[in-house]
């Protein structure tokens, strides 16, 4: 039985096994390579996507639980947005492996707190690891995208 989902607004049917990881379905069946595999164990957030608006690590999600789910990957975020511009302006990306997950964590955070405090930003991103930037620039980008100062 195929699994039918909406991925970035488009209906998609996957014929992979229900035990397949959503991560592999996105990368291999849908060719959406923006979702990265870091640890494969739920620790790093490189594979983070939104499922029905909630941030999840796609390496921990079996396809069998995705029937009729609404999934947003980094490819589904607007190409030009306050968030994307702030990431560029603040230098919040270096090697870029963590960036898709960071953008989705930030999107989930901003949907809930339009003007997050530093504490809320830290919490919202606490499941996403970055080995390059030291986080400060990422926090600054999110604060700036929310219309706040960039010097958090």
Ligand X SMILES: Cc1cc2nc3c(=O)[nH]c(=O)nc-3n(C[C@H](O)[C@H](O)[C@H](O)COP(=O)(O)OP(=O)(O)OC[C@H]3O[C@@H](n4cnc5c(N)ncnc54)[C@H](O)[C@@H]3O)c2cc1C
Contact residues for ligand X, defined by CB under 6 A: 42-43
Residues 6+ apart with CB under 8 A from 81: 145
Q: Give the nearest distance from C-beta 55 to other proteins in angstroms.
A: 5
Q: Which does 19 bind (CB under 5 to 8 A by kind): ligand FES, ligand X, other proteins, none?
A: other proteins
Q: Which does 30 bind (CB under 5 to 8 A by kind): other proteins, ligand FES, ligand X, none?
A: none
Contact range with ligand FES by CB under 6 A, out of 72-80, 103-111, 112-120, 131-139 = 131-139
Pairing of strands 70-72, 3-7: parallel
Q: Which does 8 bind (CB under 5 to 8 A by kind): ligand X, other proteins, ligand FES, none?
A: none
| C-alpha–C-alpha distance, residues 70 and 49, integer Å | 10
- Residue for token pair 């069998």: 64
Torsion sign, CA atoms 83, 127, 44, 36: negative
| C-alpha–C-alpha distance, residues 9 and 130, integer Å | 29
Query: Which residues in this chain contact other proteins in the complex, by CB under 8 A?
Result: 17-19, 21, 40-43, 45, 48, 54-57, 59-62, 64-65, 67, 105, 108, 123-124, 126-128
């Amino acid at each position: 039985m195929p699994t039918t989902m909406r991925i970035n607004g488009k209906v998609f049917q996957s014929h992979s096994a229900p035990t397949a990881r959503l991560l592999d379905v996105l990368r291999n069946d849908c060719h959406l390579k923006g979702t990265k595999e870091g640890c494969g164990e739920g620790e790093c957030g490189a594979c983070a996507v939104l499922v029905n608006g909630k941030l999840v690590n796609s390496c921990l999600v079996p396809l069998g639980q995705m029937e009729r789910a609404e999934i947003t990957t980094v490819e589904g975020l607007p190409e030009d947005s306050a968030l994307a511009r702030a990431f560029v302006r603040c230098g919040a990306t270096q090697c870029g492996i963590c960036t898709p997950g960071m953008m989705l964590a930030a999107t989930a955070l901003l949907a809930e707190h339009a003007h997050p405090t530093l504490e809320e930003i830290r919490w919202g991103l606490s499941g996403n690891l970055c080995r390059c930037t030291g986080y400060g620039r990422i926090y600054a980008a999110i604060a700036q995208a929310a219309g706040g100062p960039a010097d958090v």
